[in-house]
C-alpha cells in the first residue's frame, strides 16, 4: 500500500512540474552583447533560454547593431528593451 501511494505521489509531482513549466517569455536570461546584430542577439537569447524564435524578418532590421547587457531578466523584458515595446510576443509551445 505504501509503495502504491509513493508511486502515485511521484506521478502527480512529476506531471505537475511539466504543467507548471515556465513560459519561454518568463525564463530568465543573462547576456552581454557588444555591437551585435539583432538577429544574432535573438539567437543568443534563444540558446540561453532553451527555446526557438519564429518571426517574419520584415518586422525589423535584423542587421541593426545593438549593445545589450542583462542579468537574470525575463525574456519578455529583454525583448521589450530591444524593440522598445513596438512588438507583441506570443508563446506557442516551447
Q: What is the mean pLDDT of each run of 10 residues along the chain (94 residues)?
A: 43 43 90 96 94 88 95 95 88 77
Whole-structure pTM value: 0.73
Residue 17 forms part of a structural domain: no
Contact 86, 61 (CB under 8 A): no
Residue 11 forms part of a structural domain: no
Residue 48 forms part of a structural domain: yes
Distances (CA, A) of 67 to 9, 31, 41, 44, 64: 47, 10, 9, 13, 10
How high is the pLDDT of residue 21? Answer: 66
How high is the pLDDT of residue 94? Answer: 67
Residue 30 forms part of a structural domain: yes
How high is the pLDDT of residue 7? Answer: 42
Which domain, by its residues, includes 46?
Answer: 26-89
Residue 2 forms part of a structural domain: no
Number of domain units in the chain: 1
Three-state DSSP class for residue 39: helix
Amino acid at each position: 500500500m505504501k509503495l502504491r501511494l509513493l508511486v502515485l505521489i511521484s506521478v502527480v509531482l512529476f506531471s505537475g512540474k511539466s504543467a507548471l513549466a515556465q513560459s519561454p517569455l518568463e525564463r530568465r536570461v543573462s547576456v552581454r552583447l557588444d555591437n551585435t546584430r539583432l538577429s544574432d542577439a535573438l539567437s543568443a537569447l534563444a540558446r540561453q533560454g532553451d527555446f526557438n524564435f519564429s518571426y517574419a524578418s520584415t518586422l525589423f532590421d535584423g542587421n541593426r547593431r545593438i549593445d545589450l547587457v542583462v542579468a537574470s531578466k525575463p525574456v519578455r523584458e529583454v525583448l521589450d528593451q530591444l524593440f522598445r515595446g513596438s512588438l507583441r510576443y506570443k508563446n506557442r509551445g516551447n
